[in-house]
Structure 1
Amino acid sequence: MQFFTKACIAAVCVLFAGSASAEVKVSVKRKNYDISGSNGPALLDAMDRRGPKHGFLTRAIAQTGYTVGWEIEWAMANGTCRVKNATAELAITYTFPRVANRLPPDLDRRWTRFMKGVRKHEETHGTLARQMVRAAEREVAGMSMRNDPDCSKSRRAVKRKVAAIYADYEARQVQFDGKEHRDGGRVEGLVDALLRSR
């Protein structure tokens, strides 16, 4: 049986004119789904049945999703279009399991350690998403293009640059998951520790 701790939602880039500031705005939402069980295998089985979807046929233990929206203010002078201000808004949603029943003391301790590792894993995905948006903002800030009086070429250029940065950071997300989920990796260690009884 396979277990996954992350399913990344592709970031959505929306570009439109408006007022803007110079920092990334981040909102974080945490959701839970309830499970129950009196031992490690039962808890893992419940997560496999009730966890957030990971693809069509599998479910994850936990999940980090994010969307990105942009506000860009353009300045035009003498046929040159320039990005005057750019503000990105990053919305991160974490989904975690929550045990609804009371656990025996030893299992409760193992569950607490397990969830500490799961949260650390998901929050690393959140950190990568923050880094992605900051990198995109830095790339977009101050961009200018001559002979573009309606800013149409500039808008396309911004979208291309942002999309390239998103692709780079999505590759980093996948690389991080590959390291964490490999045989003998941290995720396997977390699952084994939860299953282990004393």
Structure 2
Amino acid sequence: MRPPIFFAASMATVALLIPPNVASAAVSVKARTVTYSISGKNGAALLEVMDRRGPKHGFLTHAIAQTAYTVSWTIDWRERGDSCRIADAAALLSITYTFPQVSGQMSPNLERHWARFMAGVRKHEQTHGRIARQMVNEAQRSLSGLFDANDPGCRRTQAEVKQVIATVYAKYEARQLAFDQVEHAPGGNVERLVMMLSQG
């Protein structure tokens, strides 16, 4: 059995550039979990409902679970004469995990299979969250202390900030995709989890 794309990660970014006198540089993380309700008498029935009701993945497919995240930046620009320096670059990473939740009674056998299945699902999604944290930490370190001695108005520095962020994001989005490719490969972790649940 070859499963479709059951787990997914997605990202949207917001860059917020504001004047000086902000808090010291840091990466803050806010994580929350939302669930959608499913029911079924066996594992195959639960998989069928998840395939219909799970979070959207593209236009035509649904994922069983999803990690979505946004990043907001607060930049402290310091101008002195014609020079421009970033004194602080603070980021807020907001992560939303979406998981299925079974409503109603399950047989002891299905409950055991479901617990094992969800442990694997959570581990997968938490890996996406960990990669997102690594991404924002590296971007924050790369931005801190950027300096241009001849940049009145900080225009070149602002452009460099966008380029640094875009470069780091691309690097880690590639890691997210590579992780999913391994997980979703034939015989990989996702297929094993789905096959295990289908036997419940």
Once residues 66 and 39 of structure 2 are traced to their aligned partners in structure 1, the CA distance between those partners, rounded to angstroms, is 19
TM-score (ref. length: structure 1): 0.96
Deviates more, 1:98-107 or 1:74-83: 74-83
**Residue 179 (structure 2) aligns with:** 176
**Residue 21 (structure 1) aligns with:** 24
Q: Which one of the candidate residues 77, 81, 84 is aligned to 1:78?
A: 81
**Residue 157 (structure 2) aligns with:** 154
Does the aligned pair in 1 maintain the 2:30–2:95 contact within 8 Å?
A: yes
| Cα offset, 1:51, TM superposition | 0.2
Matched, 1:50 2:71: no
SS at match of 1:8: strand
SS at match of 1:81: strand
Structure 1: gaps of 5 or more residues: none
Aligned residue pairs, count:
197
Once residues 136 and 5 of structure 2 are traced to their aligned partners in structure 1, the CA distance between those partners, rounded to angstroms, is 29
Does the aligned pair in 2 maintain the 1:47–1:60 contact within 8 Å?
A: yes
Partner amino acid, structure 1, of 2:49: A
**Structure 1 residues 126 and 51, CA gap change in structure 2 (3 angstroms):** same
Does the aligned pair in 2 maintain the 1:7–1:60 contact within 8 Å?
A: no
**Structure 1 residues 34 and 128, CA gap change in structure 2 (3 angstroms):** same
| Cα offset, 1:20, TM superposition | 2.8
SS at match of 1:91: strand
Q: Which one of the candidate residues 142, 145, 149 is aligned to 2:145?
A: 142
Partner amino acid, structure 2, of 1:6: A
Partner amino acid, structure 1, of 2:180: D
| Cα offset, 1:75, TM superposition | 1.0
Aligned CA RMSD, in angstroms, stands at: 1.2
Once residues 129 and 147 of structure 1 are traced to their aligned partners in structure 2, the CA distance between those partners, rounded to angstroms, is 34
Once residues 179 and 16 of structure 1 are traced to their aligned partners in structure 2, the CA distance between those partners, rounded to angstroms, is 40
Does the aligned pair in 2 maintain the 1:110–1:194 contact within 8 Å?
A: yes
| Cα offset, 1:182, TM superposition | 0.4
Once residues 82 and 115 of structure 1 are traced to their aligned partners in structure 2, the CA distance between those partners, rounded to angstroms, is 47
* Superimposed CA distance per residue, residues 111-166 of structure 1 (whole angstroms, 9 cap, x where no aligned partner): 00000000000000000000000000000000001211211110011110111100
Once residues 195 and 51 of structure 1 are traced to their aligned partners in structure 2, the CA distance between those partners, rounded to angstroms, is 17
Structure 2: gaps of 5 or more residues: none
* Identity in percent: 52
| Cα offset, 1:16, TM superposition | 2.8
| Cα offset, 1:3, TM superposition | 4.1
